[in-house]
């Protein structure tokens, strides 16, 4: 019995201590904010980028760098070359340099608790951009700025519903999924399914993964064109798979955009070009241009204001006409 | 009839061929028109079987090179990375030239990419033959570094090229037959002729079986190793160009990703032992077709993506189990028993 009480007390004590250590950095943060705002030009932000693996990512980097330059905020930039250890090193060096804010796009979802804990202990607020971390402790970061993949899927589905609103014939849809198990693939499928489920005429007759690549999209589409009796619509989780599907459709003697309608997500340059040429019918944007919103977040935090824990990127959609108009000014 | 069956059963290609036929039958049941091959409006052959041949060509081309490497008791893990490099080099040359659609530009781009692939293969050969590094480690160097090189060449971008002659390599047709299939057939025949109509194949096998004995018998192992690694890398370069041309873009991250595993698997399914020595190019051909048919089956039958890996693993496991020496011995015993059972009554009747 005594032992039990002893254990209980020890547990309570540990809890109290954890609570204490949890409270201290929080106090520091608010203290820092309370000491008054810095001039924007005195702020230093450390940004740990994933790498430069795609056109999307390069546009993301360029936009962030340009936006900070325009706003006059000093930006320290590092490229992790798709490696978590590089990113952790970069974040540690930002902590040592005592930057005011740290922003980063996590390479992978897990394994950040230790280094983010260090940032928290040093009283440096952390912004997640584009990708989230999987941690139970949400106090490790201030906000997550990025796309809502479910919403993207939903926008794609809503456009389709609108296009076919006057028709009653069944609509056969094939879906080219992203990498199996990845967040965008799961969420874009969910959002799309939600948007079309109200009407029974929409049928997803086949759904396969094309791994977000052109080659994957092409090969899956080739097989589907032969195994499915009729295909009215292709919904691809990114532009690249849609571009692959276009080649397969053309090889089968059909006209992409007319015989088979194509909807994709991303709006990268090659996709937008195909959209303006009428080969794709609709693209839901997944914007890499996060710079402007990052500046807003930093400014707000600097003024001592609070920001929501989740901020969705400002994104639009493109029809063929809009693509023609937007293409000349497209940054990526 | 039973004699034919017994002979077929003891052939090491029996089970892979059975598996290939079984997969094709599954497809034909799922999609009634699966075997139909039509000639479309452009005069091209069109059908699922053509897709299998065309999409399987890059794997076959690499697997032919891999067969020879494996026959020397080696392995080449760097082929996927070489695919990416070849594609990256060709695309960046085409993009930098003032005339991307020109035949000369594409010829220069392809030649440069293949020359570089050959150099990378000779580098592998150097590590293995001269420095004596184990092949799996020696080629691992380029497997990891190679994608980095490809990323440097493409500057991390996906390079899209608009070049009709280049695209022709991946999705063009000559008298109705896909160019990729023709390239695959030519390379396969060339390898078969060079190694089986000359002593080259025998020498390669001897190096694989016993390098020391071969050396003492006067076989120049070093030169042979350079040759097979060079050839394998060249084949990888050709496959990389086909893959890149097929998607009209160089993608340093994804082009030829894991193709080394597919190629090794094709070789193993074809009955060539990873311990080196005796090899079968026809076996590799069957292996490559099994792998590509498997991929197509997943798409045509509509196996859910989350179950795809398990399905592929099940088929590959089945092929490997059926081919294993232990299973074969069990089959042989069963066969003997059958034969003995048949003979005894026959003798009894004679008496």
- Structural domain of A70: 39-147+289-314
Query: Do A197 and A226 reside in the same domain of the chain?
Result: yes
Instruction: Decide if pLDDT at A99 tops 90.
Output: yes
Q: Residue A184: pLDDT band by 50, 70, 90 thresholds?
A: confident
End-to-end CA distance of chain A: 69
pLDDT of residue A106: 87
CB within 8 Å: A223 and B300 = yes
Contact (Cβ atoms closer than 8 angstroms) between residue A94 and residue A46: yes
Query: Is 0.95 exceeded by the ipTM?
Result: no
With beta carbons less than 8 A apart as the criterion, state whether A243 and A270 touch.
yes
pLDDT band at B342 (very low <50, low <70, confident <90, very high): low
Closest-CA residue of chain B to A51: B156
Question: Mean pLDDT for chain B?
Answer: 91
Residue A16 pLDDT = 44
- Chain A positions touching B253 (Cβ under 8 A) are 53-54
- Mutation target for A interface from B36, B305, B306, B308: give the one with most A CBs within 10 A: B305
Q: How many CB atoms lie within 10 A of CB B116?
A: 20
Does residue A2 belong to any structural domain of this protein?
no
Domain count of the fold of chain A:
2
pLDDT tier at A20, thresholds 50, 70, 90: very low
What is the sign, positive or negative, of the torsion defined by CA atoms of A276, A278, A283, A288? negative
Q: Are residues A115 and A78 in the same domain?
A: yes
Q: Could you read off the pLDDT of A191-221 as tens digits, one per residue?
A: 999 999 999 999 999 999 998 888 999 999 9
Say whether both A118 and A231 belong to one domain: no
- φ, ψ for residue A57 (rounded to 5)? -70, -40
SS3 A324: helix
A300 belongs to a structural domain: yes
pLDDT value at residue B1:
52
Q: Where are the beta strands (DSSP E) in chain A?
A: 44-49, 74-79, 101-104, 126-129, 143-146, 171-177, 202-209, 233-236, 261-266, 282-285, 310-312, 317-319
CATH class given for the domain over B51-322: mainly alpha
Q: What pLDDT is attached to residue B343?
A: 62
Angle between the N-to-C axes of helices A84-96 and A113-121, in degrees from 0 to 180, rounded to the nearest 10: 10
Measured between CB atoms, does B6 come within 8 Å of chain A?
no
Pair A67, A115 in one domain: yes
Q: φ and ψ at B238, to 5 degrees?
A: -60, -45
Q: Are A212 and A88 in the same domain?
A: no
* pLDDT above 50 for A302: yes
Interface test with B, best of A215, A225, A234, A274 (most B CBs within 10 A): A215
The answer to whether residue A151 scores a pLDDT higher than 50 is yes
Residues A279 and A188 in one domain: yes
Q: Do B254 and A222 touch (CB under 8 A)?
A: no
Enter the pTM of the model. 0.82
Question: Which sequence spans correspond to the domains of chain B?
Answer: 51-322
pLDDT digits (tens, 9 = 90+) for B198-209: 999 999 999 999
Three-state SS for A209?
strand
Contact B33 A220 (CB under 8 A): no
User: Is A11 domain-assigned?
Assistant: no
Predicted confidence (pLDDT) at residue A28 exceeds the cutoff of 70? no
Instruction: Pick the closest to residue A309 from A149, A125, A75, A154 (CA basis).
Output: A125
| In a shared domain, residues A142 and A158 | no
Q: What's the average model confidence in pLDDT over B120-148? A: 95
Our CA dihedral for A254, A255, A261, A266, rounded to 10 degrees, sits at 110
**Residue B264 phi, psi dihedral angles, 5° rounding:** -60, -40
Determine, yes or no, domain membership for A7: no
**Residue reference for tokens 């020879």:** B68
Per the structure block, which two tokens stand in for A203?
């049928």
Contact A53 B253 (CB under 8 A): yes
User: Is the predicted pLDDT of residue A23 greater than 80, yes or no?
Assistant: no
Q: What is the CATH number of the domain that holds A223?
A: 3.40.50.2300
User: SS3 helix, strand, coil % of chain B, rounded to 5?
Assistant: 75, 5, 20
A192 near A155, Cβ under 8 Å? no
Indicate if the pLDDT at residue A22 is higher than 80: no
- Sole residue written with tokens 């589409």: A221
Are B46 and A51 inside 8 Å of each other by CB? no
| Phi and psi, residue B255, nearest 5° | -65, 125
In chain A, which residues have their Cβ closer than 8 Å to the Cβ of B156? 51-54, 57-58
**What's the average model confidence in pLDDT over B46-69?**
96
Residue A17 lies inside a defined structural domain of this protein: no
Q: Cβ of B299 and A208 within 8 Å?
A: yes
The rounded distance, in Å, linking the Cα atoms of B293 and B316 is: 12
pLDDT band for position A77 (cuts 50, 70, 90): very high
Q: Is B51 on the interface with A (CB under 8 A)?
A: yes
Q: What is the pLDDT of residues B242-286, one digit of tens each?
A: 999 998 899 888 899 899 999 999 999 998 989 999 999 999 999
Chain A residues near residue B305 by CB distance under 8 angstroms: 177, 180, 207-209
> Is the pLDDT reported for residue B12 higher than 90?
no
Q: Are residues A48 and A167 in the same domain?
A: no
For B12, B22, B267, B322, B332, the CA distances from B328, given in Å and listed in that order, are 9, 20, 19, 7, 6
The beta-carbon neighbor of B171 closest among A208, A240, A247 is A247
Residue A26 has pLDDT above 50, yes or no: no
Closest by Cα among B215, B208, B243 to B60:
B243
Q: What is the pLDDT of residue A36?
A: 56
- How high is the mean pLDDT of chain A? 87
Instruction: Phi first, then psi: give them for residue A257, nearest 5 degrees.
Output: 95, -25
Residues A68 and A169 in one domain: no
Dist. CA B310–CA B300, nearest whole Å:
17
Reported as a pLDDT band with limits 50, 70 and 90, residue B326 is confident
Give the whole-number percent of chain B exceeding pLDDT 90.
68
Which residue in the set A54, A58, A177 is minimally distant from B305, CB to CB?
Answer: A177
Residues A143 and A311 sit within 8 Å (Cβ to Cβ): yes
* pLDDT tens digits, one per residue of A54-70: 667 878 898 999 999 99
Handedness of CA B12, B14, B20, B22 (dihedral sign): negative
Lookup: tokens for A1: 């019995």
- Say whether both A49 and A138 belong to one domain: yes
The residue out of A286, A301, A322 marking a domain boundary is A286
Handedness of CA A29, A33, A35, A39 (dihedral sign): positive
Kindly report which listed range (A20-34, B13-27, B147-161) carries the lowest average pLDDT score. A20-34
Are the CB atoms for A216 and A241 separated by under 8 Å? yes
Q: Report yes or no on A28 lying in a domain.
A: no
Percent composition of chain A: helix, strand, coil (DSSP 3-state, to 5):
50, 20, 30
Predicted pLDDT of residue A138: 87
Per DSSP, the residues of A92-107 read HHHHHTT-SEEEE--S
Residue A156 and residue A274 share a domain: yes
**Token representation of residue B274:** 């990873």
Question: Following DSSP, what letter does each residue of B63-116 receive, concatenated?
Answer: HHHHHHHHHTT---TTHHHHHHHHHHHHHHHHHHSS-TT-HHHHHHHHHHHHHH
DSSP assignment, residue A256?
B
Contact residues, chain A, for B31 at CB < 8 Å: 226-227
Quote the distance between the C-alpha of residue B162 and its chain's center.
Answer: 28
CA R_g for chain A: 24
Residues A307 and A214 in one domain: no
């Amino acid at each position: 019995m005594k032992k039990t009480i002893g254990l209980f007390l020890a547990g309570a004590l540990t809890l109290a201590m954890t609570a204490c250590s949890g409270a201290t950095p929080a106090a520091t943060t608010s203290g820092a904010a309370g000491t008054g705002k810095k001039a924007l030009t005195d702020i230093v932000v450390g940004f740990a980028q994933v790498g430069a693996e795609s056109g999307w990512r390069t546009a993301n980097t360029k936009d962030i760098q340009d936006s900070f330059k325009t706003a006059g905020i000093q930006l320290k930039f590092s490229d992790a070359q798709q490696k978590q250890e590089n990113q952790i090193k970069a974040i540690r060096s930002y902590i040592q340099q005592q930057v005011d804010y740290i922003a980063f796009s996590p390479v992978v979802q897990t394994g950040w608790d230790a280094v983010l804990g260090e940032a928290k202990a040093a009283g440096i607020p952390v912004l997640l951009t584009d990708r989230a971390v999987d941690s139970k402790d949400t106090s490790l970061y201030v906000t997550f700025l990025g796309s809502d993949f479910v919403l993207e899927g939903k926008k794609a589905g809503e456009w389709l519903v609108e296009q076919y609103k006057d028709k009653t014939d069944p609509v056969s849809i094939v879906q080219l999924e992203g990498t199996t198990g990845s967040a965008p693939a799961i969420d874009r499928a969910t959002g799309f399914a939600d948007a079309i489920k109200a009407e029974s005429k929409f049928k997803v007759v086949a759904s396969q993964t094309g791994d977000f690549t052109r080659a994957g999209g092409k090969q899956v589409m080739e097989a589907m064109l032969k195994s499915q009796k009729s295909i009215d619509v292709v919904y691809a989780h990114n532009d690249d798979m849609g571009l692959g599907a276009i080649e397969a459709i053309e090889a089968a003697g059909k006209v992409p955009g007319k015989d088979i309608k194509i909807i994709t997500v991303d709006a990268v340059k090659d996709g937008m070009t195909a959209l303006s040429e009428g080969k794709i019918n609709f693209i839901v944007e997944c914007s890499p241009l996060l710079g402007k919103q990052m500046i807003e977040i930093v400014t707000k935090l600097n003024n001592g204001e609070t920001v929501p824990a989740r901020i969705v990127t400002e994104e639009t959609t493109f029809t063929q006409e809009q693509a023609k108009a937007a293409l000349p000014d497209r940054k990526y | 009839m039973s004699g034919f069956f017994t002979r077929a059963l003891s052939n090491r290609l029996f089970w892979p061929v059975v598996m290939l036929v079984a997969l094709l039958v599954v497809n034909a049941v799922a999609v009634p028109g699966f075997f139909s091959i039509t000639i479309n409006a452009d005069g091209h052959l069109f059908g699922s079987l053509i897709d299998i041949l065309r999409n399987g060509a890059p794997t076959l081309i690499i697997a032919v090179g891999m067969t020879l490497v494996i026959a020397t008791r080696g392995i080449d893990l760097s082929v996927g990375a070489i695919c990416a490099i070849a594609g990256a080099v060709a695309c960046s040359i085409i993009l930098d030239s003032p005339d991307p659609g020109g035949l000369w530009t594409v010829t220069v781009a392809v030649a440069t990419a293949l020359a570089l692939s050959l150099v990378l293969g000779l580098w592998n050969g150097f590590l293995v033959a001269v420095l004596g590094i184990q092949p799996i480690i020696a080629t691992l160097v380029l497997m990891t570094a190679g994608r980095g090189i490809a990323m440097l060449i493409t500057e991390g971008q996906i390079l899209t090229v608009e070049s009709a002659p280049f695209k022709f390599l991946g999705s063009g047709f000559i008298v109705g037959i896909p160019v990729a299939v023709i390239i695959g057939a030519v390379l396969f025949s060339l390898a078969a002729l060079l190694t089986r109509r000359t002593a080259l194949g025998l020498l390669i096998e001897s190096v694989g079986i016993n390098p020391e004995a071969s050396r003492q018998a006067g076989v120049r192992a070093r030169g042979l190793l350079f040759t097979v690694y060079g050839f394998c890398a060249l084949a990888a370069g050709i496959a990389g160009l086909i893959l890149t041309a097929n998607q009209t873009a160089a993608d340093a991250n994804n082009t030829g990703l894991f193709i080394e595993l597919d190629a090794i698997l094709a070789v193993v399914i074809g009955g060539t032992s990873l311990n080196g020595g005796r090899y079968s190019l026809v076996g590799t051909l069957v292996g490559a077709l099994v792998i590509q048919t498997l991929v197509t089956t997943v798409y045509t039958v509509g196996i859910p993506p989350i179950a795809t890996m398990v399905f592929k693993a099940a088929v590959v496991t089945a092929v490997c189990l059926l081919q294993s020496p232990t299973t074969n011995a069990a089959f042989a015993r069963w066969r003997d028993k059958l034969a003995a059972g048949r003979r005894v009554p026959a003798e009894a009747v004679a008496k």
